[in-house]
Amino acid sequence: MSIQSTSAGTSAIDAAMLDLFAREVAKYPADQAQSAVMACLTIVQKAHGHVSLESEKVIADYLGMPQIAVHEVTTFYNMYNQHPVGKFKLNVCTNLPCQLRDGATALAHLEKKLGIKMGDTTQDGLFTLQQSECLGACADSPVMLVNDRTMCSFMSNEKLDQLIDGLRTASTGEAH
Amino acid sequence: MSPDQVLSQFQATGVQTCFHDRHIAPQIYAGLDGTNWRLADYEARGGYSALRKILTEGMTPDQVIAEVKGSGLRGRGGAGFPTGLKWSFMPRQFPGQKYLVCNSDEGEPGTCKDRDILHYNPHIVIEGMAIAAYAMGISVGYNYIHGEIFATYDRFEEALEEARAAGYLGDKIMGSGYNFQLHAAHGFGAYICGEETALLESLEGKKGQPRFKPPFPASFGLYGKPTTINNTETFAAVPWIINNGGPAYLECGKPNNGGTKIYSVSGDVELPGNYEVPMGTPFAKLLELAGGVRKGRQLKAVIPGGSSAPVLPAAIMMECTMDYDSIAKAGSMLGSGAVIVMDDSRSMVESLKRLSYFYMHESCGQCTPCREGTGWLWRVVDRIHNGQGRQTDMDLLNSVADNIQGRTICALGDAAAMPVRAMIKHFRHEFEALIPGYLPKTPVKA
């Protein structure tokens, strides 16, 4: 599975991102900049869609920690994308409370609708579909997290169709 | 429409889970409607009056701790440890920096109460933390929020800004000599970081692998400094206790189980959601508030305290009241208060298979019994579920569970083993029925 990477130039860590880094570092004691590593990785992922080894190097240098220590964090936490993903990453919870309320059904419906298996990305690079563990929204099941930020609740098959169709339409005409 | 506009149509409003009239005497969720989370709204509900009372009336730290001890408040994150006692463990005369940490890494399957507290009433947590920090002489705190609820994390940051601007956080709070700096941090998808020492490792910018205890965080916590960690709901209970007194809080629960508790009811009920009710409320009443078992089916089993708590069959559960002592006596634990309801159409083998997969996925890999054992548990339950179980598999499951439980650094190992043992204890026949040609060792009594 290969995904087109975002257009050239966007993989750099620019001054605006460094400002965001600085705001995170300021939360911690002066000799504990490493504490900001998770926030910095999240800032990079929001801007680039994933965390590359080059980004890890920049963060490591910025925080004064070994690059491998940054990589340990990227690889330990489930939500960091170590490789490019689709424009919309869909994480559907199928843990037990959700399984009891159609979480697995929602995942199966999306597999059918998108024509891919969980873990894969659509050919057009729009959607990556993943199974996820507990999102902490058990009473809203079926629930789905979109691009790490937006929790979508009570996702019946009908609403899943609306969401996918809506995101497709919203993306049409935008330059890839 | 932009993608964000499309997505905004599907976001929860809180009406189903939090803003309903099916709470009983709520304290933390009282008066919320989804729009009134800001500072001015919180003040209009009497917010920050407890902090003001402490600072203007000159309540001493000892008096605050005594009030919390007298309230019977017990940790809402899962362990149920008496909060006032925990606070008294912090070294008072320690010369260096001490830290206060709020554990909002709510990822125990079934639990979604802290999300609604933080999203719809963030200032109650800020006030609770400011009071706790005052009581323990702490000047810096962090609230570590589940990465999956990022919108809630962003909102908490906004609430912090409001509190700083109004002088409820920062230096010389309300003109007193008391300083408290509070910051928000977030996780990014690791169940294990709900374990307090894993959370501390994560806050230090590392993999979230739990630490050996002892030393306990009260002596060696964040950056090796004395640290107190409490759950979101625990902090949220504190302002009410200061305003109304410890005895009043104790009185609205039952002895040794003070106050109200928020139960996240999920699974096979008509109205899944969060329910804030007094400690000691009968389970039957809670089930009724949640609309009963859905589709008119019969109750089969309940996991009363999050996925790590042992399952209880309907007959036992219907006799329980919802408090630490009653659920413990019945052989399970109240845990985080996540009540997972299962009806009579459910396969316990399938349910356990999903839970076992979860623990395998989330084991941090540090201890061999857990890292290897959780994989064994899942593979054996999976093959039983697929009709490929073996004669020896029931013994094998118990043996693997025995070799995990009590043999790991943190409680994730126990959390993986306990559901297996409880499922086999109460629903053994369902597993045996799926094993081809299974011959019970002892004759089945009629």
Predicted ipTM of the assembly: 0.94
Q: Report how far Cα B105 is from the mean position of its chain's Cα atoms.
A: 9
CB atoms within 10 A of CB B102: 31
- The pLDDT, as a whole number, for residue B93 is 84
d(CA B419, CA B71): 32
Q: Decide: B323 and B279 in contact? Cβ < 8 Å.
A: yes
Q: B265 pairs with which residues across the strands? A: B273, B339
- The minimum CA-CA distance between B201 and chain A, rounded to whole Å, is 9
Percentage with pLDDT > 70 across chain A: 91
- The pLDDT, as a whole number, for residue A135 is 96
Q: B436 pairs with which residues across the strands? A: none
Using CA atoms in the order A64, A69, A71, A72, what is the torsion angle rounded to 10 degrees?
A: -150
DSSP B223: G
- The pLDDT, as a whole number, for residue B156 is 98
- The minimum CA-CA distance between A142 and chain B, rounded to whole Å, is 11
Number of A/B CB contacts below 8 angstroms equals: 202
B204 with A72: Cβ contact below 8 A: no
| Residue B42 in tokens | 């919180």
| Residue B268 in tokens | 């096979």
Can you give the pTM of this predicted structure?
0.95
- The minimum CA-CA distance between B97 and chain A, rounded to whole Å, is 10
B11 with A63: Cβ contact below 8 A: no
Token look-up 């593979």 returns B379
- The minimum CA-CA distance between B241 and chain A, rounded to whole Å, is 27
- The pLDDT, as a whole number, for residue B389 is 96
Q: Hey, is the C-beta of A156 within 8 angstroms of any chain B C-beta?
A: no
Mean pLDDT of chain A: 92
Q: Decide: A83 and B97 in contact? Cβ < 8 Å.
A: no
Q: What is the pLDDT along chain B (446 residues), one digit of tens a residue?
A: 899 999 999 999 999 999 999 999 999 999 999 999 999 999 999 999 999 999 999 899 999 999 999 999 999 998 899 999 999 999 988 989 999 999 999 999 999 999 999 999 999 999 999 999 999 999 999 999 999 999 999 999 999 999 999 999 999 999 999 999 999 999 999 999 999 999 999 999 999 999 999 999 999 999 999 999 999 999 999 999 999 999 999 999 888 888 999 999 999 999 999 999 999 999 999 999 999 999 999 999 999 999 999 999 999 999 999 999 999 999 999 999 999 999 999 999 999 999 999 999 999 999 999 999 999 999 999 999 999 999 999 999 999 999 999 999 999 999 999 999 999 999 999 999 999 988 876 655 55
Instruction: Inform me whether the pLDDT recorded for A172 exceeds 90.
Output: no
- Please state, in angstroms and as integers, the Cα–Cα distance from residue A166 to each residue in A143, A159, B210, following that order: 17, 10, 43
- The minimum CA-CA distance between B225 and chain A, rounded to whole Å, is 12
Residues of B with Cβ-Cβ distance to A97 under 8 angstroms? 109-110, 266-267, 307, 338, 340
Residues of A with Cβ-Cβ distance to B9 under 8 angstroms? 162-163, 166
- The minimum CA-CA distance between A132 and chain B, rounded to whole Å, is 9
| Residue A109 in tokens | 């419906």
* Averaged pLDDT, A110-125: 97
A138 with B111: Cβ contact below 8 A: yes
Q: Hey, is the C-beta of B344 within 8 angstroms of any chain A C-beta?
A: no
Amino acid at B161: E
Q: Hey, is the C-beta of B6 within 8 angstroms of any chain A C-beta?
A: yes
B142 with A27: Cβ contact below 8 A: yes
- What is the per-residue DSSP string for B79-96? T--BHHHHHHTS-TT--S
- The pLDDT, as a whole number, for residue A174 is 60
Interface of A with B in 12-71 (CB under 8 A): 27-29, 32, 34-39, 41-42, 63, 65, 69
User: Which pLDDT band, with edges at 50, 70 and 90, does A6 fall under?
Assistant: very low
Residues of A with Cβ-Cβ distance to B231 under 8 angstroms? none
Identify the residue among A100, A126, A159, A163 best suited for mutation to test binding to B, counting B beta carbons within 10 A and taking the highest. A100
B272 with A37: Cβ contact below 8 A: no
Phi first, then psi: what are they for A145, rounded to 5°?
-105, 130
Q: Decide: A67 and A57 in contact? Cβ < 8 Å.
A: yes
